[in-house]
A and B are shown apart, each in its own frame.
Chain A
Amino acid sequence: MTEISVVEAVRLAHARAMAEDDTVLVLGEDVGVNGGVFRATEGLLERFGPERVFDTPLSEALFVGLAVGLGAQGFRPVVEFQFMGFIYPAIDQLVNHASRLRSRTQGRLTCPIVVRAPYGGGIHAPEHHSESAEAMFTHIPGLRVVIPSSPAKAYGLLLAAIRDPDPVVFLEPKHAYRAPKEEVADDGQALPLDRCFVVREGRDITLIGWGAMMTEVLTAADRLAEEGVSAEVIDVATLKPLDMETILGSVSRTGRCVIVHEAPLTGGFGGEIAARLADRGLVDLLAPVKRVAGYDTVMPLSRLETHYMPSAARIVAAARQALDYA
């Protein structure tokens, strides 16, 4: 078994899903001949043909609406956005149609679609290419919101998303697209769409993150370990629906918690987790819940983006505050 990257795992999951189900289609800009701007769909056109893989015109609002029509007719389209920054024209289709077609027709018409978009900063991309808007999607009833952090999770969660009978927004951390790599078995095994992953067990504090931030979170956990602090690390992975049992279980043991995300602090999904901890886990908390997030600024262009992105150092500093609290 060779080690593969997140983007290779995404490609592998597409191929697996398309091979096992003829109704799975791939749509988007440059996904066919060019194999996608990140090569996430490379080889799919050659293998599955032009009636399964479609290069669409450059119309973002259209892709998702097109997928809604295909989904209602029993297909399972997977739509690729080149960057999350271009997804906003399609929000109308996600809010008004994809997420509620099942509900508004009482199950008569359904929307088994996946909307994929690379998100986040750290690769020195142009303007509008580096934002993290996951919280916007978690606010939409009827959607699932999934963010893998590793090749194995990208493979298993994307398979699950494609097989799921409801619309899934699948956000891929492009900072983690090429590295690190890991061994992934192409065994068709999906991962659950409603569970957080405890990626490291610990006793003293719980560090919670998702997507590309997991690299920083794990680095922070390593540094804390050097100081003798045992940090438990949780990869949320499926933001909606949110598995609070795992988070509450961890915090009930550690009593302290830092939540990390790239997205701006205000209205970020960390606020939702913190609110639920305050509601259900208050008696277990030994310190205030800390959040390390992007600042409430416009995502800066590449020269200053590292100052915006939460770093292991900021996470360690927040953890110390939580640990030092009386």
Chain B
Amino acid sequence: MTDMPQKPELSDIPDAVSEPKRRFSIQLVWIIPIIAALIGLSLAVKSFMDRGETITIIFKTGEGMEAGKTKIKYKDVQIGEVKGLAIASDRSHVVVTAELSKDARGLLVKDTRFWVVRARISGGNISGLSTLIGGSYIGVDAGTSTQKRDEFVGLEAPPAVSMDVPGRQFVLHADDVGSLDTSSPIFYRRMQVGQVISTEMDRDGKGVTIRAFIRAPFDQYVKANSVFWHASGVDLTLNASGVKINTESMVSILLGGIAFQTPQDQLEAPPARPNSVFPLFITRDDALKHVEAVEKYLLVFKESVRGLPVGAPVDLWGVTVGEVTKIDVTLDPAKSELSIPVEIQFYPERLRALSRNKSPQAKPPDSRELLDALVARGFRAEIKSGNLLTGQLFVALEFFPRAKPAKIDWSTNPPRFPSVPGSMGELQKKLMQIVQKFEKMPLEELAGDARKTVQSLDSTLKSAEKLLKNVDGTVIPEARSVLSEARQSLGEVRKTLGAAQTTLGGANQVLSGDAPLQLDLRETLREVSRAAQSLRVLGDYLEQHPESLVRGKREDKQ
């Protein structure tokens, strides 16, 4: 339709300039999809490589956790994320599905631990405050095992010590846990060297087991015979030596703690093996007593032990070398005799201390030989009174050279140590003897004699009275006449005295103060006194200046 009318103008259309054809065998545009494919492939590979491990962790509750939001952090660095939360089929726990980055693959071993980090305030430390704002996250503590694993059971509380802290764990057994708790400090020479990891009840309910962690290098100070004790709070002891307050640190006062010590001579011993079991003592004193070797002996007494408590000291010349551990009563049916076996703990170390100090290398003498020798010389145990007021008794070890010969009976368990009746018993016996002697005295006869004596005394007194009456009748009239005569002579004496008095009055007039004789006399005496004074002055002067006798008095220089 349009072809024909335009045909004439077609000639006006210029010819295109021709040029030989160049062939492009390769279309460059295909580089674009190749690049796109490479990018897509690299993204795919990257995302495949980045795809971490998917693990499941079991928790009791899902508190604070949210799928897609809760992070998993190791040393506060994010290594993964919770992808899902599900309740277990038996509804007893929560199964958390989490995806960890591929760098964290090495963390997924058998003993890796997971726990939920929340804000916690316990005892002395406040942790996880950042989770108040940022939300809780799952903390990881890398394990050391090489066994791979992707199913874990989460901890309910953060572990006290992370795995990568070098050190060793020990197990402590105690009767009660005191004020200890997870993360209670452990002290060695009052320096904090570790902490309590866990406290749990023994399965039989008879005690508690405490797991303690001691950091390296302090863990090497724990030896096989180290002793651990509660350093909880303040240990206030009031005894005969006064008030004693024993604490480890302010922290332990508030939170409790454990302290341990190793005997001085054991410091070179090899360190205790990890997970060794130690008893945990109540107090330091209690613990230190147990450092020493303990030997048990049995003492048999045949007297009252009233006032001898368990724990009473065993004393050797004032030094405590042991303590009473058990008191029983036994009846010997054959002899129908009661006896009281007292079990004592004896610390032979304290006896050997002297010889050890002399030669530390020398082998300490065997306590058996030592004691045998001592007993042969009269070494015996006896019960002594420690306090007369309270009647407290203790066991004393003494030498009784005159005691009956005896030996330690090593055949029994514990060996029987010879004892002598205590001084209290002896005293009682002697008192009884005295009383018995008193009883033997013929008191009634004595009383009869006394009565007779009194009667004769009475009659004597009566005759004496008669005698006195006789005296009264005969002697007194005579005496009365003598007295009247004496009175007369006294009257005469009085007259004579009156005459003497008048004479003396005259003399008094002569000598009275304003008498002219006395005035003259006083003047004269004054003159004499002055003369004597000037004589003394002259004498003094002459003594100082004897030359004035020849040269005359010198003029005083101004």
Partners in one complex: no
Q: Which A residues have a C-beta under 8 Å from some C-beta of B?
A: none
Q: Which B residues have a C-beta under 8 Å from some C-beta of A?
A: none
